[in-house]
Amino acid sequence: MSSVGLLYVGAVLCVNGLVLIGLVRPRGATVLNFLVGALQVVFPTILLSGAGGDPDAILAASGLYLFGFTYLWVGAINTFDLPAEGFGWFSLYVAIAAVVFGGAAVVLQADPVSAAMWWLWAALWFLFFLLDGFGHTWLRVPIGWFAIFCGIATCTLPALLQLLGLYAPSPVAGAALGLVGTAVLVLALTLGRRSLRPRRIETDAELTGDPEAAVARPAASAPAPAEGQSDAESGAARPSDGVSEPGPTEIAARIVTRR
């Protein structure tokens, strides 16, 4: 991928990550998705038209369409409120292709940094597949954070280094990028799973540290009898507040006393 295209892919990944986290509304990222998607479709078409059958040029241009179609599809989903299941399964296709492109970067280009970038993209698009293809919505926020990381570490920084003439791929740099990316992914998924665990309600004794501070919770009140229905007919017990109601004998004695 060219340095210019890589720079703007980093921008759209960061913004889409913010959408998944909830800091940006989906339609707020529509324009950028359409612009970058169109860029990633027009440029490889121009490259292919001038490739002259060169296998390296064709290989370099072919992978760009995967990203172009991705961002155009995301823009359409956000704009027209389309179902995302089809995009989810397309993301699986992108993930598989990205694994192959990563292998080609090692074998054919001897560029371990590009290989690590492709494999991290494969992991990201596979998560898109789980989110949109299978509806695992708990992945939304972890994917958002991982997308932001990928936008910065696998797109923006390499693009800037290439533009400045400072890009020097090495096995150490590739391994470091892969390890850091894996650590960020594991951390995001772990925190995402923890957020799903139900919180245990602490008792008053645990909050104060005093075992005698436990407070009994009031029991649920009984349903009120229907209109025209007595307490006996409804089966609802009237609260006594610790005082028993007088029986018939006691009522008669009170009447005689008053007289």
**What amino acid occupies position 185?**
L
Distance CA 120, CA 189 (A): 15
Q: Among 67-76, 132-141, 243-252, which is the least confidently predicted range?
A: 243-252
What digits encode the pLDDT tens for the residues 113-135?
A: 999 999 999 999 999 999 999 99
Distance CA 11, CA 36 (A): 9
CATH of 3-194, one of 3.40.50.720, 1.25.40.600, 3.40.50.2300, 3.90.1310.10: 1.25.40.600
Q: How many beta carbons lie within 10 A of that of residue 55, not counting itself? A: 9
What digits encode the pLDDT tens for the residues 10-57?
A: 999 999 999 999 999 999 999 999 999 999 999 999 988 888 888 888
pTM for the structure as a whole = 0.76
- DSSP per-residue letters across 65-110: HHHHHHHHHHHHHHHHT--SHHHHHHHHHHHHHHHHHHHHHHHTT-
- What percent of the chain clears pLDDT 90, i.e. is strictly above it? 63
Q: Where is mean pLDDT largest: 57-71, 209-223, 244-258?
A: 57-71
Q: Where are the domains of the chain?
A: 3-194
Nearest to 97 by CA among 114, 73, 122, 116: 122
* Average pLDDT of the residues of the chain: 83
101-113 burial, b at 16+ Cβ within 10 Å, e below that, comes to bbebbbeeeebbb
- What percent of the chain clears pLDDT 70, i.e. is strictly above it? 75
**Predicted pLDDT at 197:** 63
Largest CA distance in the chain: 120
What digits encode the pLDDT tens for the residues 142-196?
A: 999 999 999 999 999 999 999 999 998 999 999 999 999 999 999 999 998 887 6
